[in-house]
Structure 1
Amino acid sequence: MMHLRFTKAGVLAALLAGSALAPLPALAAKTELTLGAAAADIGNLDPHYSASTTDRTLVAWVFGGLVRFAPGTTDPATIEPDLAESWESSDDKLVWTFKLRKGVQFHHNYGEVTAEDVVFSLQKSADPQRSAFATDYAAFEKIEAVDPYTVRITLKNVIPSVLGPLANYAGGFIVSKKAYEERGESFSRNPVGFGPFQLDSIEPGVAVHFSAHKDYFRGTPKLTKVTYRFLNAAAARDLAFVAGEVDAATGLADPNWLKRTQAIEGATVDIFDPAELTLLHINTKKPPFDDIRVRRALAYAVDSSRVATYRGAEFTRVAKSVVPSNNLGYTEDNGHVTFDADKAKALLAEAGYPDGLSVKMISSQLPSYESSNQVLQAQLEEVGINMELEPVEHATWHQMIRQDVSPLVSYGAARFPVADVYLSQFFHSSSAIGSPTAVTNFSHCDVADKQIEAARVETDPAKQLELWHEAQRLIIEAVCAIPTTETAGVWARRENLNWGFEFKGSMSLGPLVTELTHFTE
C-alpha cells in the first residue's frame, strides 16, 4: 500500500483550497485494483434486492444476465448476448425462446449455468416475496426450461421492451439456484453468479474483496483481485486517491472538486450516464401534504436551477419531468411549474399556514444528497417552509424511507430507459410503500395507474407515447413529486487504469469492472 510522504492535514488543506497537488506516486503495472466508494457499508448483494448505488455497482461484477448492455453504454440499442447466445420470438411477440451458451460456470465450484438456474432466477425476480423488482415481470405468464440450454418465456401481453428485464440490471441477473437454496438468507452477503469476479470476503464497514473468476466464459480477467473500500467521507477518498491507496474513487458532482482533481498529475475524471433523476417525493396521504395547496406551494418554492448551478454544469441539468430525459416516453409538455416565491406563500396562506410550516425529512449523509438537500433547505426557508433535515447513513436511509417515516423523500435514481419502468416503480399504486408489492412509490401516487397500465400493452407506438405523456401530466398536476435535477455519475481514476471500454455510461451506476479492465503500466 502506498503511503503519504506529507501530512494528511497538508493534503487535506490543499484539497480544500483547490490548489494543484503533487503528482500521484508512480506505480508499476499491476493486477490488483482498489476502488474507493462513497458508502459506509454494503446493503444487500442479492441482485434482486440491490437498490443502492454501491450494491448495484458490485452485483454487476458478480452476476450476468441472459443479455447485457454493451460495456460503457446505457443505450438499449446496444443490448447484446450474454448467457444467451441467441433468441427468437413468435410473430405476435408473446413467446420468446433463448438458447444458452454451454459450459458457462458459476463461481466457487457451483457448476454449469443451465436453464434451470435461469427459470429459478426469473421466477424469483417476479416474486414480490423474493424480489424488489417483481413489477417489472408482471407480463411474464410462464418461464420454462425446454431443455438444459433452452428457456422459453411466454408473455401475457406485449411489453415495451422484453430484453430490458432480461438484461444485466436489477431483476435480470441470473443467480445459482443451488447456491441460493444452500445459503438461504446469507446469500445477500455470499452471492454466487457467473460474472468476471467472485466475492471472496466482506469486512463490514471496511471493504469487500473480489478475485478473478478464472473460468469466466469470456476469458480469465486481466485483474487478479479487486478491493472495494468504504470511504464515505469525500475528504477521505481524496486523501486515499492522492496517496495512491486507491486507484479510482467516487467523485463529487461539484465544480470545485472537478477543478482540484483535474489538477492532479496522472489523474483523469469519468463523467457518465445515466444521469440520475432526483425528485422530491411528497407523501400525498399524510398531513400537511394531503392538501394539494401545500404540495403546490412546495412546487413553487423549489428553484431547481439553483440546485443545478450549485452542483455544476459539467454534471447537472435542471429536471423537467418525473421520468428521466433519456427515457423513451419523456415529455417536457407536462405542466411543471417554475420557482415563484409569491405564489408559494399565497398557497401556504390559503391552506392555513400564513406563517409558514415545519416538516422533517430523513436525509442521506451521502455527500451528493447532503449538499443538494442543504441547498433545497435554504431556498424553502425563503418562503416560510422550515425543512428540518435528519441525516442518517446512506444504507440506513434506504431502510428508513421504505418504512414510510419521512413525508418528503429526495431520491435520485436511474432505471432502464423506457418510461414504463420509472412510472411503474415510482408512481403506480401497486408500488406504494407499505403495500405487499412496494417498490419506491414514496408519494403513494395513484393518479396515473390507468395510463401506465394501458401504455404497457399498447402496440401502437404513437398511442403508447401519448399515454406516457398523459401519465406525466397527471402526476405533475397532482404534485406527487417535484423534479429537481439530473446528475451524471462521476469517478476519478489514474490514467494508467483502463476500464477496457469507452466509459460513457453504466446501468450499474458505477464503473463496470470486466475481464478487460487492466493497468497499462
Structure 2
Amino acid sequence: MTLSRISLPRWLVLSVIVVSLVALVACGASAPEPAPAVPAAGEAPAAASAAPSQPAQPAQPAEPMTRSEPAAAPEPAQPEPQATVSAVVGQGAIGVGAKEATATPAPTAVPAAVAETPAEPAISQLRVSRGPTTRDLADPIAGRGDLPVILPMFEGLVQFDQYTDSVSMLAPEWSANDDFTVWTFKLREGVQFHKDWGEMTAKDVEHTMWQERRNDHFDGRAATWRDLLREVVMPDGPEGHVVELHLNKPEPIMTTYMSTNYTTVIRSKDHWDANGGVMTGFEANDAGIKLMANDPIGTGPYQFAEHAEAQYLRYEQPAVTHWRKTPDFPELRINFVAEPSTQLAQLVTGEVHAAEIPRDLQVGALSRGMVVVLGTTPAIRLVGFFGGNYLPDNPNFDASEPMTIPLVREAMNRAIDRQEINDVFFNGRAELMMQTHSHAKFPGWQPSWLDTFEADYGYDPEKAKAQLAEAGFPEGFEITQLSYPRPGLPEMLDIAELVADYWREIGIEVDFQPVETAVYSSKLRAKEVNNTAWLHTGSFTEPTRAIFVYHYSGARSPRYESPFFTEKYEALEIAATTEERDDLIREMGENCYEVYCSIPLHWVPFEFMINPEIIEEWLTPGVFGVRDFEYVKAVK
C-alpha cells in the first residue's frame, strides 16, 4: 500500500510553507554556509562518515551515533546509521549495582567525579528550541515529561546518564538489606546548593522525599511513593551524609526510582523553610508552591535565572565551580515553540543553535548546513493497545467485543506493515519491538522472540483476513481509533492514520478520531475505551514500571488487564532476588507475546538538529526530549 492518500499531502503543504518561511526569514539574517550537497526530497539525512550498518534486530548493541552530516555526493545513498542501543547493559536498576543483595551487601562504590576546566566557546549562551512543556513549571512536581527543563538545575542521588544507565550522582555509594526494604545512600560531601543555600546533607534528602509525595505532584509516581516509603532515617543527624529509606515492601529497582529519570531530584530544605514553605502532611502551602515555581534551587551545573511563561527558561552557571561538570556554555536558554516550521526558521537563521525538527522537515535545515543528531538509545516506545480488555469481573468487560479475542488481536497485528512504517517515518532507523515492555537491554528479555517474531507477528494481510473469518467476523467489524499528540514524535497522527488504513484493508471499519491527550486520558481512567484502539508512546526505561502502568489491575488506568498479570505483578513487587524478578518479568512478557495483548511497533531513536558551527558534539538519550545540556561540547 502507499501513503499518498493520508500523509503526503500534509507533508507537501508543510514543505512549501517551511521553504517559504525559511527563505523569508533568511533574507534578513545571516545563516551558516550551506552543506556541500542537499539530500533529495524524500531521502533521509546522511549518516556520519564511515558509520556501520544498522543491525536488523536489537540483539547486537553498538556504540551510539553522535550526529549525521549532510551528504557529500549529489545523490546520497540511503543512510545506515549505527544502532542506538547502549553498549552498557543494565541501568544499574536491579538490586545493588545489578547484583543480588545479601545479608551484608557490599556498597556500590563509584570513583569520585572531577570538575572539568571550563571551555571557551564561540558564544556564551547556548539557545535551544523545543515544543511547549507539559506544565510550564520549573518545579520538579511538573513530572517526568518536563524533566529536560528541570535537570539543568537539579541532580539526584543517582544519575540516569547519557546511555540510560543508573550511575552515581549525589550518592557515591549505596546498599540494600537482604530483602530490599531498607536502602542506604551515602551522600557526596561538599556539594553546594545554588545561590549560597549551603551544603547538601541528609535533611535535604528527607525534605525531597516529602516534596515527591505532594498531593499536587503531576507524576503518578507520587502516589507510589506515598504507599512505598515508610520513613527516612538520618543515622548521622540532619547535617550528616547518610540516609536510610525504610520501605513498606521490597523494592529492588530503587536506584531507578531515585534517579534523574524520575523527578527524585534533591531540593534545599533551608531554602524552603526560610521562605515560608510548609508541608502539612502531603499538602504544600501557597508560599511553598510559589517559591518552587519562581525560585527553584538545586545543585545542578546550571542555576535558574528567568522564566517567561510559555516562552522560555533561562539558566546560568553557578558562582562556584560545580563539583561534577562545568558546562562549555556559561548560559543556556530553552525556547518553547509549538510550530516546527518556526523552530526550523530559528535554527537556520542562527536564532537558536539546536532544535527538535521533525524528520519530514529536516531536509530544509540540512540544506543550510545543519546536522542531525541521534539519541544514544531508543528513546521512544511506540506501541498500540486494544481497549475493553478489563478483568472478567469488571462490569465494563464485554466478552463479545472482537478485540477481547486473541485471534482478532493477532489479525490486527498481522495487518500492520512495520517495515513500511519504519522506512517512511523513521528512515529505517527505528528498532523493531518484540514485546511492549521488553528490550534486550532490560531484565526479562526472551531472545527466542528474535527468531519467532516474523512468523508470529509479520505482515500478512491475507492471513489476517482469514483469522478474522475464523474468529467469527468474515465481514469485519467496527471500531473507534483515538489519536493524540505525543512529545518527541510529531509524526504520531500520520502513523496512526496509516495503521487505520491497514485495518481497513482487512475489513475493519475504523472511525478515526484525533483528540487531545486529556480526552483520551479521561476515557481511559473512566474505562470508556470499549471497542477502541489507539497508539501510544512511552519512554525507554526498565520494564517494571511499564508493566505496572499498562497491565496491572491496581494501576490507575491499565491498558490490558488479566488475572495472570495481576498475580505475577504482585509477586514481582515482593520478589527478593534478581533471578526471581527476571523470571517473573519474562513470564509476563511471554504471556503478552502469546495472547497478543498489545501492538508492539518500534523503539524509536530521538532526533534533533544542531548548528555544527556552534556545537561539536551532543550525547543524550533524548528521553522526553533534548537534554544533558551540561555535556554539550562547544566549537572553540
**TM-score calculated relative to the size of structure 2:** 0.67
Structure 1 residues 31-110: aligned runs within 5 Å: 31-39=124-132, 42-43=135-136, 45-52=138-145, 55-70=146-161, 72-76=162-166, 79-80=167-168, 82-90=169-177, 94-107=181-194, 110=197
- SS of alignment partner, residue 234 of structure 2: strand
Instruction: Report whether the alignment pairs 1:236 with 2:342.
Output: yes
Q: Give the letter aligned to residue 140 of structure 2.
A: P
2:482–2:520 CA contact under 8 A, matched in 1: no
- SS of alignment partner, residue 298 of structure 1: helix
Instruction: Report whether the alignment pairs 1:494 with 2:583.
Output: no
1:302–1:379 CA contact under 8 A, matched in 2: yes
The 1:296/1:430 distance shift into structure 2, 3 A limit, reads same
1:316–1:488 CA contact under 8 A, matched in 2: yes
C-alpha displacement of 1:244: 0.9
Q: Give the letter aligned to residue 255 of structure 2.
A: L
Instruction: Report whether the alignment pairs 1:430 with 2:554.
Output: yes
What root-mean-square deviation, in Å, do the aligned CA atoms of Structure 1 and Structure 2 show? 3.9
Cα distance in 2 for partners of 1:375, 1:268 equals 26
Instruction: Report whether the alignment pairs 1:421 with 2:545.
Output: yes
**TM-score calculated relative to the size of structure 1:** 0.80
The 1:6/1:277 distance shift into structure 2, 3 A limit, reads closer
Q: Give the letter aligned to residue 535 of structure 2.
A: S
Cα distance in 1 for partners of 2:472, 2:141 equals 42
Cα distance in 2 for partners of 1:301, 1:383 equals 7
Structure 1 residues 144-293: aligned runs within 5 Å: 144-146=233-235, 147=237, 148-149=239-240, 150-156=242-248, 158-177=250-269, 178=272, 183-186=287-290, 189-190=293-294, 191-215=296-320, 216-218=322-324, 221-252=327-358, 254=359, 257=361, 261-265=365-369, 267-283=371-387, 284-285=389-390, 288=401, 291-292=404-405
Cα distance in 2 for partners of 1:174, 1:445 equals 38
2:154–2:298 CA contact under 8 A, matched in 1: yes
The 1:89/1:295 distance shift into structure 2, 3 A limit, reads closer
**Residue-pair matches, total:** 493
1:271–1:504 CA contact under 8 A, matched in 2: yes
The 1:274/1:236 distance shift into structure 2, 3 A limit, reads same
- SS of alignment partner, residue 220 of structure 2: coil
The 1:395/1:118 distance shift into structure 2, 3 A limit, reads farther
Cα distance in 1 for partners of 2:144, 2:590 equals 27
2:22–2:348 CA contact under 8 A, matched in 1: no
Instruction: Report whether the alignment pairs 1:328 with 2:443.
Output: yes
**Aligned residue number for residue 53 of structure 2:** none
1:304–1:484 CA contact under 8 A, matched in 2: yes
The 1:273/1:49 distance shift into structure 2, 3 A limit, reads same
**Aligned residue number for residue 318 of structure 1:** 432
- SS of alignment partner, residue 385 of structure 2: strand
**Aligned residue number for residue 83 of structure 2:** none
1:409–1:442 CA contact under 8 A, matched in 2: no
CA deviation map 1:45-99 (0-9, x unaligned): 54355243xx1211222221112134x22134xx12x222433444665433223
- SS of alignment partner, residue 170 of structure 1: coil
Instruction: Report whether the alignment pairs 1:119 with 2:206.
Output: yes
The 1:463/1:111 distance shift into structure 2, 3 A limit, reads closer
**Aligned residue number for residue 423 of structure 2:** 309
Structure of greater Rg: 2
Cα distance in 2 for partners of 1:206, 1:404 equals 36
Q: Give the letter aligned to residue 304 of structure 1.
A: R
Cα distance in 2 for partners of 1:240, 1:443 equals 43
Structure 1 residues 438-449: aligned runs within 5 Å: 441-444=558-561, 447-449=564-566
Q: Give the letter aligned to residue 208 of structure 1.
A: L
2:126–2:332 CA contact under 8 A, matched in 1: yes
1:60–1:169 CA contact under 8 A, matched in 2: no
Q: Paired residue for 2:505, among 382, 389, 393?
A: 382
Q: Give the letter aligned to residue 512 of structure 1.
A: D
C-alpha displacement of 1:128: 7.2
Cα distance in 2 for partners of 1:473, 1:482 equals 14
Name the structure with the higher strand share: 1
- SS of alignment partner, residue 367 of structure 1: coil
- SS of alignment partner, residue 467 of structure 1: helix
Cα distance in 1 for partners of 2:528, 2:136 equals 19
